[in-house]
Structure 1
Amino acid sequence: MIRKAFVMTVHPDKHDEYKKRHNEIWPQMVKEMHKFGASNYSIFLDKDTNKLFGYVEIEDEEKWSDFAKTDINQKWWKFMAPVMETHPDNSPVSVELKEVFHME
């Protein structure tokens, strides 16, 4: 497994909506993420800074990057764009974090 961590930003007045949308995540979205090798996916919120910390385990970088191109992911990005910082293509503004320590 490859561990990936990243930071995104939710709009200050959209914390509850962001959580609601993820609590109601589409079953087909979850199924597709699994199909592209994702598991153990979590997102945490720092309310003081509006920062989201994401963590996901993937099987393969190339396979996971192909997920971004799927219709369901494009639809999800569009759905989530009103509640968070995004690029013009609706992809989340995201900063990948480099792992500096891991303990098993």
Structure 2
Amino acid sequence: MKRLAFKMHLNEGQKEEYKKRHNELWPELKQLLKEAGVNEYSIFIDEETNTLFAFQKLSSNGGSQDLGQTEVVKKWWEFMADIMKTNADNSPVSVPLEEVFYLE
């Protein structure tokens, strides 16, 4: 199983809204992630810097970062754009992280 990690940035004071929106994740987005091979997906926050750390376990070579061409993901990005740093297309500014240690 492939593991993927990346970081994003949440706007100041938006932690509760971010949690709320993800607790109400759209069923069609959840289904799309599962179909893309995302078996586990966790997001953590560093409240000192508002940095979001995302971790995924994948059964395919893709991941959530490869779904930006789909309409549901474009709508999700637009929905989330007011509470986090985004690119011109509303996708979250995302930085891939290199795995430097793994204990199995």
Shorter-chain TM-score above 0.5: yes
The residue aligned with 2:90 is 90
The match for 2:52 is 52
Q: What is the correspondence of 1:13-32 to structure 2 with a 5 Å cutoff?
A: 13-32=13-32
Identity across aligned pairs (percent)?
46
Unaligned runs of 5+ in 2: none
Could you say which structure has the higher helix fraction? Answer: 1
For 2:99 and 2:13, locate their aligned partners in 1 and report how far apart those are by CA, in whole Å.
30
Deviation at 1:60? 2.8
Match of 1:81 in 2: 81
Flag the 1:66–1:10 CA change in 2: closer, same or farther, 3 A. closer
Give the TM-score, by structure 1 length: 0.93
User: Number of paired residues?
Assistant: 103
1-side partners of 2:24 and 2:33: how far apart?
Answer: 15
- Where has structure 1 moved over 6 Å in runs of 4 or more? none
Partner secondary structure for residue 82 of structure 1: coil
In structure 1, the gaps of 5 or more residues are: none
* Cα root mean square deviation, aligned: 1.2
